[in-house]
Amino acid sequence: MKKYLIFLALGFISTVGQAQNITWATPAKLQVYALTAAGAQLLMTSENLLVTYDQLKMAGELDLGSFQTGHDLLRNLLDSAVSDKITLSAVIPEGKFIYRDMVEESFPVETELRYGETISQIILVYEISNRRTSLANTFDITVTGSLSLKDDLGITRDTGLDDKISFMFFQNVQTRTY
C-alpha cells in the first residue's frame, strides 16, 4: 500500500509538471482611419489581422487584400501597394500580461513594423482587460496607434490623404492550462 501511494504521488507530480499552456486567439478586428486633404474622415476595416502571443512576444500579420472600404482614395492606396502584407513584432513589457482574477491595464509598446523593404518603429498602446475563471484566462485587448504613410510605409507620392493614419484593433485571447 505504501508503494502504491508513493507511485500515485509521483504520478501526480509528473502530471502537474507536464501541464501545457494552450493559447487561443481570435483574428483581430482592425479599423483604419484616414483624413482626406479636405478633412473628411475615411474608414477601412479588416477582420483578418492575425496577432499571436508567445509568452511576451507579439507577432502580427495583415494581408492588405483583406481590407474592406468603399472609398476610392483608400482603394487606390491599397491597389498601388508595393507589398501584399504588413508585419508587426514586439515584446510586451514584463508584468503586463498578468494572470489575476480581474485586471485592467494600459501601456505603450514599441513595435517593429515591416512593409516590403521598409522597417520602422511605431508605438502601440495596449488596453487589456483580464478575466480569470476556472476554465481559462480571457484577455480582451484593444490596441491603438498611428503611422506615417511617408516615414513608416515609404509612400512618397501624393495620395490625397493626410500623412498620418490612425488605427485600432480588437482581439480576444484565451489561455488554458491542461
Residues 6 or more apart whose Cβ sits within 8 Å of residue 38: none
| 90 vs 53: CA distance, rounded Å | 10
- In the three-class reduction of DSSP (H, G, I as helix; E, B as strand; rest coil), residue 23 is classed as strand
Reduced to 3 states (helix: H, G, I; strand: E, B; else coil), residue 1 is coil
Q: pLDDT (tens digit, 9 = 90+) per residue, 23-78?
A: 778 899 999 999 998 999 999 999 999 999 887 899 999 999 999 999 999 999 99
What CATH architecture is 21-177?
A: Beta Barrel (2.40)
Per-residue model confidence (pLDDT) at position 73: 95
DSSP string, 42-85: EEEEEEEEEEEEETTEEEEEEEGGG-B---HHHHHHHHT-SSSE
Domain ranges of the chain: 21-177
The pLDDT tens digits of the residues spanning 3-15 come to 544 444 444 444 4
CA distance 165 to 167: 7
Nearest to 152 by CA among 69, 32, 50, 47: 32
